[in-house]
Amino acid sequence: MRIGYVRVSTEDQNTDRQDLGAVDKLFTEKVSGATAKDRPQLQALMEFAREDDEVVVYSIDRLARDLRDCLHIVTTLNGKGVTVSFLSERLTFTAKDDDPFAKLQLHLMSAFAEFERSIIRRRQREGIEKAKKRGVYKGRPPQIDAAQVCQMRKSGLGPTEIARDLGISRASVYRLMKQSASHPAATVG
């Protein structure tokens, strides 16, 4: 079976550039490729793939942005007897073929993808710092209504009930309670 994997980093990005040709099953994600464990479609693909299947990915950086993750994914799939092919780099990895040149290329391309991700993150941090100095960047808006947490606490609900009702962690409830305790005007009670 020919299995495709397509990934873009954000919901508003388009996957059209990653033409895999005909595939029997396609796994598509719109999430960051920073770590393999945070990508449910990749995890599903790894569970789904069986011996003699071929996993097709447009390029190495679509599969992983970290050398360790890339090597782990390819090794795990090869260990199941699954072939992994990268179309852009024209590289194919199988459990049966122990091509040292292909392995070197995988290491190099994965290292470049990881390097690129590090550079992007550094530029992003630098841009945020400059924006903060100019007073333009305020950070992400609060996702939890602190006043609502305070009101729920005053009405007698405990942190566990508040967390469950609002769909947040208990740690967030405790953090907000602690913050409001340090500001007496907004005491939680």
Indicate if 169 belongs to the active site: no
Residue 184, pLDDT > 80, answer: no
Which entry of 9, 32, 85, 172 is annotated as an active-site residue?
9
DSSP 3: E
Q: Tokens standing for 166? A: 């609002």
pLDDT in tens, 92-125: 888 777 778 777 877 787 788 778 878 888 988 8
Taking the C-alpha atoms of residue 41 and residue 124, their distance in angstroms, rounded to an integer, is 27
Contact 3, 53 (CB under 8 A): yes
pLDDT at 141 (0 to 100): 79
Span 2-116 CATH architecture? 3-Layer(aba) Sandwich (3.40)
The helix (H) or strand (E) run that includes residue 6 is: strand 2-8
Confidence of residue 34 (pLDDT cuts 50, 70, 90): low
Q: Which residue has the higher pLDDT, 152 or 98?
A: 152
Is 146-186 a domain of CATH 3.20.20.70?
no
The radius of gyration computed from the CA coordinates of the chain, to the nearest angstrom, equals 23
Indicate the domain borders of the chain.
2-116, 146-186
